[in-house]
Amino acid sequence: MPAEKPDIGHGSTAEISVDGGTTFISVDRMEGIEFPNPTFDDVDVTHFSSPNRTREFIAGLGDNGEVTISFQHLPGSTLDVALRAALGSNAVLRLVENGGVAEDFDVVVKGYQRNIPMDDKMTAALTLRVGGEWESV
């Protein structure tokens, strides 16, 4: 069996649905994806009889974090219009790593920041808050 090799992200895709997952709009000209970083709270359950006077913890609630997607901004494009309208709304995000499996995330469209420099390409960053679990599709 050949050894696994690292790869680049070229060929990865992202799509967003603002109608509950019926139709998806491609995030074209994408330059980067920051996947969510799930974390869990720790709950202090220390008591008067805790061994060696040390704190004790149990796992608490999970937080699936945020996704940030950076891409080249095209003013007035289908994506631009949809993202402006979707700010503060629920959506479904579908991410596919290069050669990987599609993963769907229930998200809130939290931020859409556009950058329009005088002498360089226009870019945008989309920030999405992940709610609940995500699944491979």
pLDDT, tens digit, 9 for 90 and up, residues 79-127: 999 999 999 999 999 999 887 889 999 999 999 999 999 999 999 999 9
| Backbone region of residue 108 per phi and psi (left: phi > 0; alpha: psi in -120 to 50; beta: other values) | beta
Beta bridge partners of 13: 96
pTM score over 0.95? no
Residue-range definition of the domain harbouring residue 85: 13-37+63-136
Residues 6+ apart with CB under 8 A from 111: 87, 125, 126, 127
Say if 76 falls within a structural domain: yes
- Specify the CATH number for the domain of residue 93: 2.30.110.20
Distance CA 47, CA 50 (A): 5
**Number of domains comprising the chain:** 1
Burial 46-72 (b: 16+ CB within 10 A, else e): eeeeeeeeeeeeeeeeeebebbbbbbe
